[in-house]
Amino acid sequence: DAKTTQPNSMESNEEEPVHLPCNHSTISGTDYIHWYRQLPSQGPEYVIHGLTSNVNNRMASLAIAEDRKSSTLILHRATLRDAAVYYCILKNRDDKIIFGKGTRLHILP
């Protein structure tokens, strides 16, 4: 059901930036791009979302390709606490959030 493709896992060193890619080649004009993450033994947590323009918030930045067929979640300075599964989700008008397999991010101390 998920309309996005993400790498199964990624590794990054602590205190370095992390770029998590997501492909969504079948995105429609009304789909928003949402990112959630799930820390171990916790519920999913909203990270960021956007439509066309790049977005920044206190947690991360979202870079959206001009054709909207891909996006990148950027963690500017990863900490051990950022180790989680990151989900890239296209959210349509009926408000159904469909989770894919996500990317498991490992942070190396």
Partner 1 sequence: DTAVSQTPKYLVTQMGNDKSIKCEQNLGHDTMYWYKQDSKKFLKIMFSYNNKELIINETVPNRFSPKSPDKAHLNLHINSLELGDSAVYFCASSQEVRVNTEAFFGQGTRLTVV
Which positions lie near partner 1, rule CB under 8 A?
Answer: 30, 32, 34, 36, 38, 41-46, 49, 51, 85, 87, 91-99, 101
Q: Which is nearer to partner 1, 95 or 109 (CB)?
A: 95
Residue type, 99: F
Distances (CA, A) of 65 to 15, 31, 61, 81, 93: 26, 14, 13, 28, 21
Instruction: Report in angstroms how near the CB of residue 39 gets to partner 1 at its nearest.
Output: 11
Q: Which is nearer to partner 1, 20 or 47 (CB)?
A: 47
DSSP 102: -
Instruction: Report in angstroms how near the CB of residue 72 gets to partner 1 at its nearest.
Output: 19
Instruction: Report in angstroms how near the CB of residue 75 gets to partner 1 at its nearest.
Output: 18
Measured in degrees and rounded to the nearest 5, phi and psi for residue 107 equal: -110, 125
Q: Which is nearer to partner 1, 3 or 49 (CB)?
A: 49
- The number of C-alpha atoms within 13 Å of 28 and in the hemisphere containing its C-beta is 6
Q: Which is nearer to partner 1, 16 or 46 (CB)?
A: 46
Contact by Cβ (8 Å): 101, 8: yes
